[in-house]
Amino acid sequence: MALINTPFLKVVNDEIQNKIDKKVNQFQAINRDKKLINLSSGDVIRPLAPCVMEAMHKAIAEMGDETTFQGRGPVEGYPFLIDAILKYNFKNYKIKIAPDEVFINHGTKENLAGFGDILCRDNRIAVIDPVSQEYIESNVIGNRAGDLNENLQWSHIVYLECKKENDFMPEFPKLRPDIIYMSYPNNPTGCVMTREILEKWVQYALKNDILILFDATYKSFVTNPEIPQTIYEIKDAKKVAIEFRSFSKNAGFTGLNCGYAIIPKTLSGYSYIADKGANLNALWRRRLMIKNYTPPYIIQRGAEALFSQAGLKWVRENVDYYMSNAAILRQALTDAGLKFWGGVNSPYIWVESPYDSSWKLFDKLLNDCYILSSPGERFGPHGRGFVRLSSFANQSKVIMAGTRIASMK
Ligand SMILES: *Cc1c(COP(=O)(O)O)cnc(C)c1O
């Protein structure tokens, strides 16, 4: 019999999702005529930009003609997309990113999870909490998370508790980690790091020789110029950080899967056993050759179109649509007298449950407002007591949801 990956067994069963499904089924059984408004989604709903469609149609035609046909693309992505990215990004910062520091990928989720392949099992990994659980679970599946203790925490993971008293900003851990996972604007709390706070973390990483894996999936939702959109706005961040970016949320690419990572050539790792260092950019390139193909030519041409004048304008409007949803929800929550964070510079709103558990607020939203939310537990142990609302929904539904929330008792 094939032996299976034992640590993985501990995360195979998604008990929280099972509990949500059960509650939703119960609701639907009692309320057959009621339609739920889904404000729990981490997926977008608006269609692709016309310029993206046009570029992809053109690319399909090229694929069908022998003179313009494209076979397998370069593993790190097509130069036309890398050039477009560099032309419109990082221009206003003091740092320079070289084309061979950009890796086009199938999205942040897959890329961040796969990155563990080139890292040792013995790293101490710090993860902000609450946060997307994939950061932890991808380390579990790669057998890099250690053992699960009685508090349901993994021995190689340092949970950086983000408390409401600190507006959900983490504090430096007691034990020095080797790697830190961070994500700002944050999913689920909707909180953003100020330049000053991000500077402190970059300084801490420089001083302690720590690698920061920075998930900047929501960077386009930042409108306040005081809030960094990229970790590379901070001096010397290139010496400590890899940044992951995605077209998923700002440009509706969740059905196309395309994003990119910046892996500076200045980053190295070390092997005690081999007693030598290695360049992370080179290691990752080699890893891609073993496990990955670049995203399809058609999709990369679609992504390139996002950097045209029409594309840039469209992305702005798309993000504005979701942010006006967030504003509607914020107003409704204020009217209902609920305490919340986020919804500014971020599509997510993190609502404190006025009851003794997140589930009670989840139930009230479900049964009184016909709204599906996400209980905070879904995002880690320190998510307890909160629910997340998402602005990735149709605006007419959000307006309806807002009216119901505002009159919630
Ligand atoms: C949605 C989401 C992702 C997914 O990005 P893809 O590029 O679609 O894989 C990554 N990180 C966070 C924090 C997200 O919320």
Tokens of 338: 């609920």
pLDDT of amino acid 316? 97
pLDDT of amino acid 89? 86
Distance (angstroms) between ligand 1 centre and the Cα of 370 equals: 27
In whole angstroms, what is the distance from residue 54 CA to residue 56 CA?
Answer: 5
What is the atom index within ligand 1 of the atom nearest the CA of 183? 13
CA dihedral in degrees (261, 262, 266, 268; nearest 10)?
Answer: -10
Distance (angstroms) between ligand 1 centre and the Cα of 118 equals: 21
Closest CA to 347 of 182, 220, 181, 194: 220
- Triad 82, 135, 325: Cα angle to 5°: 75
pLDDT tens string 370-382: 999 999 999 998 9
Distance (angstroms) between ligand 1 centre and the Cα of 108 equals: 5
What is the atom index within ligand 1 of the atom nearest the CA of 105? 7
pLDDT of amino acid 322? 98
Q: Are 326 and 334 in contact (CB under 8 A)?
A: no
Distance (angstroms) between ligand 1 centre and the Cα of 12 equals: 20
pLDDT tens string 382-405: 999 999 999 999 999 999 999 999
Q: Sorting pLDDT into bands at 50, 70 and 90, what band is 38?
A: very high
What class has domain 11-47+310-406? alpha beta
Distance (angstroms) between ligand 1 centre and the Cα of 19 equals: 23
- Average pLDDT for residues 140-156, to the nearest whole number? 91
Q: Sorting pLDDT into bands at 50, 70 and 90, what band is 91?
A: confident
Local structure of residue 241 (DSSP, 8 states): E
pLDDT tens string 193-247: 999 999 999 999 999 999 999 999 999 999 999 999 999 999 999 999 999 999 9
Helices (H) and strands (E) in the chain, counts: 13, 15
Across the beta sheet with 374-375, what order do the strands follow?
Answer: 340-342, 348-352, 386-390, 374-375
Which residues, listed in sequence order, are joined to residue 125 by a DSSP beta bridge?
Answer: 157, 179
- Average pLDDT for residues 92-104, to the nearest whole number? 89
Nearest residue (CA) to ligand 1, atom 11 = 217
What is the atom index within ligand 1 of the atom nearest the CA of 131? 13
Distance (angstroms) between ligand 1 centre and the Cα of 110 equals: 9
Q: Are 216 and 244 in contact (CB under 8 A)?
A: yes
What is the atom index within ligand 1 of the atom nearest the CA of 109? 9
Distance (angstroms) between ligand 1 centre and the Cα of 368 equals: 31
Pocket test residue of 136, 248, 292 for ligand 1, highest count of atoms within 8 A of CB? 248
Nearest residue (CA) to ligand 1, atom 12 = 217
pLDDT, the chain, mean: 96
Q: Which residue has the higher pLDDT, 286 or 94?
A: 286
Pocket test residue of 128, 243, 249 for ligand 1, highest count of atoms within 8 A of CB? 249
pLDDT of amino acid 150? 86
User: Which residues' Cβ are closer than 6 Å to ligand 1?
Assistant: 42, 107-109, 132, 183, 187, 215, 217, 246, 248-249, 254, 259
- Average pLDDT for residues 39-47, to the nearest whole number? 96
Domain boundaries, the chain: 11-47+310-406, 53-308
Q: Sorting pLDDT into bands at 50, 70 and 90, what band is 350?
A: very high
Instruction: Tell me the fold of 53-308.
Output: Aspartate Aminotransferase; domain 2 (3.40.640)
Distance (angstroms) between ligand 1 centre and the Cα of 77 equals: 19
The residue to which tokens 């994003």 are assigned = 259
Provide, for the chain, the percentages of residues in helix, strand and coil under a 3-state DSSP scheme, each rounded to the nearest 5: 45, 15, 40
- Average pLDDT for residues 360-366, to the nearest whole number? 97
Pocket test residue of 134, 217, 390 for ligand 1, highest count of atoms within 8 A of CB? 217
Q: Tell whether the model's pLDDT for residue 45 goes beyond 90.
A: yes
Pocket test residue of 45, 132, 186 for ligand 1, highest count of atoms within 8 A of CB? 132
What is the atom index within ligand 1 of the atom nearest the CA of 43? 1
CB atoms near residue 231 (< 10 Å): 25
- Average pLDDT for residues 267-284, to the nearest whole number? 94
Q: Sorting pLDDT into bands at 50, 70 and 90, what band is 331?
A: very high
What is the atom index within ligand 1 of the atom nearest the CA of 110? 9
In whole angstroms, what is the distance from residue 113 CA to residue 371 CA?
Answer: 31
The residue to which tokens 């005529």 are assigned = 33
pLDDT tens string 285-298: 999 999 999 999 99
pLDDT of amino acid 315? 97
Q: Are 318 and 390 in contact (CB under 8 A)?
A: no
**Residues of the chain above pLDDT 70, percent:** 100
Distance (angstroms) between ligand 1 centre and the Cα of 42 equals: 8
Q: Tell whether the model's pLDDT for residue 92 goes beyond 90.
A: no
Q: Sorting pLDDT into bands at 50, 70 and 90, what band is 12?
A: confident
Name the amino acid, one letter, at 361.
Answer: L
What is the atom index within ligand 1 of the atom nearest the CA of 132? 13
